[in-house]
Each structure stands twice: as structure tokens, then as C-alpha cells.
Amino acid sequence: MSLTTDLIPDGAFHGVASRQSMKESILHHLRYTLVHLPQQATPRDWWLALSLAIRDRITDDMSMTQIAHNSDNVRRVYYLSMEYLMGRMLINNAHNIGVYDAAKQAIEELGLDWEQICDEEMDMGLGNGGLGRLAACFLDSLATLDLPAIGYGIYYEFGLFKQEFLQGRQVEHPDTWIKYGTPWDIIRPEYSQTIQYYGRVETVYDSAGNSRPVWVDTRSVMGVPFDIPVAGYDTKTVNFLRLWSSHSTEDFDLEEFNKGDYVEAVRSKAMGETISKVLYPNDQNANGKELRLVQQYFFVACSLADILRRFEKMNSDWTKLPDKAVIQLNDTHPAIAIVELTRVLLDDKHLSWDSTWDIVTRTFAYTNHTLLPEALEKWSVGLFEKVLPRHLQLIYEINHRFMGEVAQRWPGRDDICRALSIIEEGEHKMIRMAHLAVIASHKVNGVAALHSQLLKSELFPHFDQLYPGKFTNKTNGITPRRWLLGCNPGLVQLFERYGIDRDWPKNLEHLRTLESFLDDNAFLDDFMAVKHQNKVHLAKIIKKECDIDVDPFALFDVQIKRLHEYKRQHLTLLNILTLYHRLLNHPESNTVPRVFIFGAKAAPGYALAKDIIYAINSVAKVINNDPRIKGKLKVAFLSNYRVSLASHIIPAADLSEQISTAGKEASGTGNMKLALNGAITIGTMDGANVEILEEVGPDNIFIFGLNVDQVRALDHKGYNPYRYYQQDEELKGALDWLCSGHFSPNDPHAFDSIRNSLLQGGDPYKVMADYRAYMDCQQQVSDAYQDKPRWARMAVLNTARMGKFSSDRTIQEYADEIWTLPAYPV
Ligand SMILES: *Cc1c(COP(=O)(O)O)cnc(C)c1O
């Protein structure tokens, strides 16, 4: 691009970013932005000055990228997501723009501790778990692959709650990440949007006697965008994430203001600010709250208005919109965008229905993230009518036309009409957002091969028959920049020492060359020495955070993910209780010392999940303080699991627990991060575990338990968890012991809820059925761990064979097969 060279005085920063210029830049920001001299500066000041120095080296490329994309009127993908779990940005940005070494050396030459400075950054935790982290990895890959892309979301004032344990129980605190600002956002008041909601629909007649609906008596709210630059790795492309913050509009309180009630006017002004106040902390669970619907519409309407504004600057023919914009819906959370675009084209731009619907269906694509019924979004018709009355009318119109299609395809089949309708009939009529998203999208994808199969065969079989070819798979991935280059410097250095192709962060498949060292004992020792160093480092964190001493030579057995019954942390708890029992009864046995490491937040309203946290912490307390087992078993539950904590735990893991009930975990991405860092998976045939097995081979993973077909067969014939309980002495012993009061003397019934869900409650997630297979498989793990060369080879092969799970591969597939979006290097 000649544009770039014309407008920017030849790169004072890029490529020649030396530690000297970095140091000058840090000191400059310290002195003139933060107004401190070095002797006054706190670690936070240094972190901020460093971040601003790095930001300076990103923003010119950001401007240039946008000028190039705009002036060439390029096709773009717009990624709409309610959640972005970005974590910290400093290290990731430094690596991506190639100044990591310069920045680290500059900080060290200033007499500072690199890790301590980096630790000052608050996580940007604007997401719950896998779905939000996927969006963050995708942004990194989109920029790295030079794809024109903008992410849209909400600028939550409070991200996911901060978790603390008080006497073993979860307590939530607000996450005040933005309280003192962040160096990574840029406010863009000039692109603010005002949107309408509530009100009612009136029919008006024009002079020719033609009626049309108008949405009147609405309330309005303003969205102010904050842009977060997203720099690609080793490329000039800098895309951005645009997050909307809500503010009241002037006219919102004009009436009260004119009445002279100034204070009341200002007070009610605060209502508009609540929309973007806080992230809902429910993972894999829809909750139907009005504010949540308002949040969804708020960010969708602002984003769509922004997208259409950009389109209208360069184009005049609305039928060309799908050539310039493809909108990817991350789950159904932003699916109201479908109706909003319909409304704008029909009501504001006065297009015909057929033209409107053709544009809409060519613009949207939808990613499904779950089969769990409790996570499929439904909104009550009554609530929708109150908040978005015009949109409800349009949904009925879309559904009416769609029902006509269904009746034509399956004449007389009212049962199929009912099953496929966007409207679920019943005492309370509900709007099924997934049906809307499937009907209006040109592609619908699942997030792992198994999940995409089940989507077609179980969740949407008739839709698949009606729209052959619409359903596809895009197996999730993770960015190797954050989840190896950024989090595991020891391993990165090892790659350098052994001459691994330096472009592995862009071509993860190149790590396959590690396989040529499988018979090189020095390499295997070095690889495991890095793992050991990472374990020593994590042991220090565990000591500091939990005051537990753990032996870095023990097997580090890691389960880190949201707490949910389907993820079965309680199955791990039964394993721990069983091992503890065995140790006490066979103290002479030569068992492998293990440290169980947990990280998990429970949704604040999910009582059983919180009981499981309390149970693990209670059992941990007894085990960690029992001298009889001589430290052979330890349990460390780190509080406040988040991206930055994950990046310390993952490089230190030996074993990766991926033990969801088959058919329940759509993909998982934690499984990929851990395997990439040389942890061996113990897992079920679920989600992307199936594909990890395909990549690493059966000798390098531990697979156990029921597969999906066996789970279905068990349900079909009638599952009886009691049978497993009564027939397995160790299982009965573990569960009875948990509920004996031994682990919670002050509250002997604290864990009855767990027992009840597993027995009387029917054990919906088949914990009892999988227990024995799990225990047997864990024995194989212990045996393998004792064979050091074998374990080392398995670990290396896991790192070497994760190439498929780079989110670059995932995004390239979206670009080729869903978006038809060419790369556009600037
Ligand atoms: C990757 C990640 C997740 C998702 O983990 P799963 O094991 O796939 O559920 C959740 N939270 C954080 C902080 C993550 O980094």
C-alpha cells in the first residue's frame, strides 16, 4: 500500500524497535503522561508507561489498516459476541508486534522485575468461559491472517465477578477492571449511536391511503464506542474490537428537566448507564431477564447502525450489502440483529419484503455452541412485546412465511410445523432464538466434528432436511501466540535451542518437527526440565495463594474450567476420595504422588455447583493436613480462575482432565491449550477430545467411559445410578464417606445435595456409570507417569501434534467456507 508510506514518516518505531527507544518511550510516558519521575513511580505506573509505549507502536498501523480497508471498500466480517474474554493484553501485544524482547530488556535495564510489572495488569474479563475466550482467540487470528474484521460487543463496567473462598465457600465480588482506566481502549464519541426500545407500534396512512407501521413512544439510549486495537502477529494488520458503553440521551430526561426537577432528571439519567453495567455470570444457562434482552438489543442495534453507516459511506445499492458485510453470530445472543436488519431495510429504507429477506439471509451466519436444553435461548413473547414491539411483529411475519415453506415441504404435518416454528406454543409462548438464527443464516456451524454431527442428527434434524448444506462444522481452535508463545517462555527457548522453525507461532503444524527428537534423550530431558521449571513456578503460586506445599515432582493433575455438573468436577472428587481411602488403607503401596489442581467459578445462582466447590475445598483441607499420607496426595483449588491464572497453570500441567459426559461438551478449548503445552489428556469421547485423539493417536491420550451412543442406549433402557453404587464398594465408600460429616463436621449435611443429585436425582450426567472406567483409566495414567521416558515422549507428541487446533486454521476455514473473505494485507 502506497498509502501507508505516504502518510507515515518512515517507521521510527517499526522493525527497529530497540530496547533503547523502548526505554526512552517508557520514561517519556512516565514523565509526561503519568507525571512521575522514576524515583516516585509505583509498579503500576511502570506498567502503564510500558503499555503506552507498546500502544504507540500499534496505533499508526491501526490507522493505516482502517484507511486501507475503507478506501478500498473491502469486504469485511463483523463478529458479534456478547462476550470477549481477552485477559491481559501487554505480553500478547508485545509479541504480536515483535517488541517483546526489547520491552523486557528495557524494563530490566530500568532495574525492574518483568513479571512483577506484567502482573499489575487487570484481566479484561468480559466473558464467562470458553465462548468468550474463543471470540478473543478469533480476533487474534483474524488480524494475523490479514482478514478485514471488526469485533462488536459490550463495554461492561464490571466483567465476570471476582471469586474468593471464605471457609471453602465461593463468595463473589465485583470486578472493577476499568475503575482506573485501561491503556488499551480508545474512546470514539464521534461514532456514538442512539437507539430506540420499548414504546408501541402504530399504523399510519400516507396520502395515498397506504398503511405502514411506525414504532412510537420509544425510549432512547446512546451507545458510545470504545475501540480496542487488535494487532496481528508478524503483520501490519491492526483490526479493532468495538465495545459499546451505554449512556442516557438528553431527551430521555428532558421532560423532568423542564419541569424544573433537575436532580430527578439527573438521577433518571443514570438508568441508561445500567445497560452496560455488568456481565451476566451464567455460563451455559439462559435466564430470561429483561435487562439481558435490553443488553442484547442495545449492542446489536448500535453495531448494526455502525455497520450500515460504514456501508452507506461507500455504497448506495442495498442489495450489495451482502457483498460488503458478513455478520457472524457468536451463539444466539446477538441473533436479534437478524430482526433489526429486517426492520431497518423494511421500515427505514423502504425495501420490499423479498428484497429485505434476501439481503438478510445472505448476510448472517450463526455458530451454535451447545446442545444443552437449558442453554438454548428463549424469550417470552410478552417480554419481547414490551421491549421490542416492532421486532415481535417482524418475527411473526418471518415465522408465518417460514411455516408456509414447512407446510409445502411436509404437507399435513402439523407436528413438524410445531417442532420447527420460531414460536413455541404453550402456557407461556416463547421465541426460540436458535430457530430464528437457523432460518435466517446462510450457514450454521457447530464447533467440533461430533457436536456438528449431533446438531444435525438430534437438535435440528428437520432443518437439515429442509436446508441441505446449511449445516457445517468448524472445529474450535486457540491462538498459539497467547497459549504457547506468551505463556510458556521456557518451551519457546527450548524450540530455539533445537532449531525449530521460528515461524511456528504462525504455522503451528511446524511443531511436528519436534517428532524428529523423540529418540534424543537429551531433548526429552530438556523438554521435561522445562515442564519441571513451570511446575516449580506454579508450586510457588500455590504456596502464595493457598498456603499449600506441593511437590513439583508429583503428577500435576489439572481440571480448570467453569464449574458445571456436565463437566463433572464431582467425578474428580470421587477419584480423590477413592485415592485417599486407598492411601490410608495401603500406606505401603507404591502410589504416584499427585497434586490435584482446580480452577473454577460457579454461576452465583447455581447452588449445586457452589456445593461442589465447597466439597472440594473441604476434602482438600482434610487431605492436605493428614500427615499419614506423607504428602502423596494434595488438593489445591486456586480461587478466581481467569485467563491470566490459566496462563500460569497450563504450562505446568502433566494431566489434563476433560471428563464431560459424552455429548455434552460442544468442543472445549481448555483441552487444546493443555495438550499444546505438553499435558496428556484423560478424557471422554466428547467435543474436540475426539479430534485430539485422532491427532495424537491412541497411545498418547487416555480415553475412558461411555461414548454418545452408549449414553443414549443407557437412557433408552432406563438408567439406574443405584445399581453402580450398590455394586461398586469403592464408589459406595467414597460417596458415603463424603456425606458422613467427616469432611464438614460443623455442617454434616453440607454435601447431601451432591449425593441426592447422583442417586435420587437420577444422575443426569452419568457420573456413577463412568466412575469405574475412570478409576481404571487413572491407574493407567499413574503407571505411565512412572515410566519417565514414555511419559516424556507422550508429552512431546502432544505438543508436536496440536497444529490442527490453531485458531488460524479455524478462522481460515470460516473465511473460505462461510465468509468467502479474501485476505487483504496492508
Ligand atoms: C480456555 C478457557 C476456558 C474454557 O475452558 P474449557 O475447559 O474448554 O471449558 C474457560 N475459562 C478460561 C479463563 C479459559 O482460558
pLDDT over threshold 50, residue 16: no
Calpha distance 247→222 (Å, rounded): 5
Q: Which residues pair with 595 in a beta bridge?
A: 556, 634
Residue 14 scores a pLDDT above 80: no
Ligand 1 centroid to Cα of residue 810, in Å, is 17
Q: Distance between CA 64 and CA 11 in Å, rounded?
A: 12
Active-site residue 561, yes or no?
Answer: yes
Residue 1: pLDDT over 60: no
Share of the chain above pLDDT 90, in %: 93
Q: List, in sequence order, every residue forming a beta bridge with 162; answer none if it has no partner.
A: 173
Average the pLDDT over 328-340 and give the result: 98
Residues 699-703: what's their mean pLDDT? 99
Distance 50 CA to ligand 1 centre (A): 28
Region 318-335: mean pLDDT is 98
Q: How far apart are CA 382 and CA 393, in angstroms?
A: 12
Confidence label for 765 from pLDDT (cuts 50, 70 and 90)? very high
Q: Which CATH architecture has domain 73-87+125-475+812-819?
A: 3-Layer(aba) Sandwich (3.40)
SS3 content of the chain, % helix, strand, coil (to 5): 55, 15, 30
pLDDT at 505: 98
**DSSP classification of residue 455:** I
605 versus 286: the higher-pLDDT residue is 605
Active site residue 669: yes
Model confidence at 496: pLDDT above 70? yes
Does the beta carbon of 670 sit less than 6 angstroms from any atom of ligand 1? yes
pLDDT at 3: 39
Compute the radius of gyration of the chain from its Cα atoms: 28
Residues 722-758: tens digit of each pLDDT: 999 999 999 999 999 999 999 999 999 999 999 999 9
More confident residue, 150 or 588: 150
What is the pLDDT of the chain when averaged over all its residues?
A: 96
pLDDT at residue number 6 = 41
Q: What residues are paired with 555 via a beta bridge?
A: 594
The one catalytic residue among 104, 435, 531, 673: 673
- Give the integer Cα–Cα distance in Å for 386 and 377: 18
pLDDT confidence of residue 254:
65
Q: For the stretch 537-570, what's the b/e string if a residue is b when 16 or more beta carbons lie within 10 angstroms of its beta carbon?
A: bbbeebeeebebebebebbbbbbbbbbbbbbbbb
Domain 551-786 has CATH 3.40.47.10: no
Residue 541 has pLDDT above 80, yes or no: yes
Tell me, using a 6 A CB cutoff, whether residue 125 lines ligand 1.
no
Mean pLDDT of 801-824: 98
Average pLDDT of the residues in 188-217: 95
Q: Where are the domains of the chain?
A: 1-9+19-72+89-122, 73-87+125-475+812-819, 551-786
CA of 815 to the centre of ligand 1 (A): 24
| Rounded mean pLDDT, 62-84 | 98
Q: Please report the pLDDT score of residue 252 as a whole number.
A: 52
- In this model, does residue 666 exceed pLDDT 50? yes
Q: Give 635 Cα–ligand 1 centroid separation in angstroms.
A: 20
The response to whether residue 721 sits with its C-beta less than 6 Å from ligand 1 reads: no
Q: Are 490 and 527 in contact (CB under 8 A)?
A: no
683 lines ligand 1 (CB under 6 A): no
* pLDDT surpasses 70 at 9: no
User: Binning pLDDT at 50, 70 and 90, where does residue 12 land?
Assistant: very low
Across the range 28-54, mean pLDDT stands at 97
Q: Which residues of 458-478 are buried (b: 16+ CB within 10 A; e: fewer)?
A: ebbeebbebbeebbbbbbbbb
Q: Assign 328 a pLDDT band (cuts: 50, 70, 90).
A: very high
User: For residue 355, what pLDDT is reported?
Assistant: 98
Percent share of the chain, pLDDT over 70: 97
Please give the average per-residue pLDDT across 269-277, as a whole number. 87
- Ligand 1, atom 15, lies closest to the CA of 643
Q: Answer yes or no: 673 catalytic.
A: yes
- pLDDT surpasses 90 at 572: yes
pLDDT of residue 4: 39
Fold equal for 73-87+125-475+812-819 and 551-786: yes
- pLDDT at position 2 is 39
pLDDT band at 264 (very low <50, low <70, confident <90, very high): confident
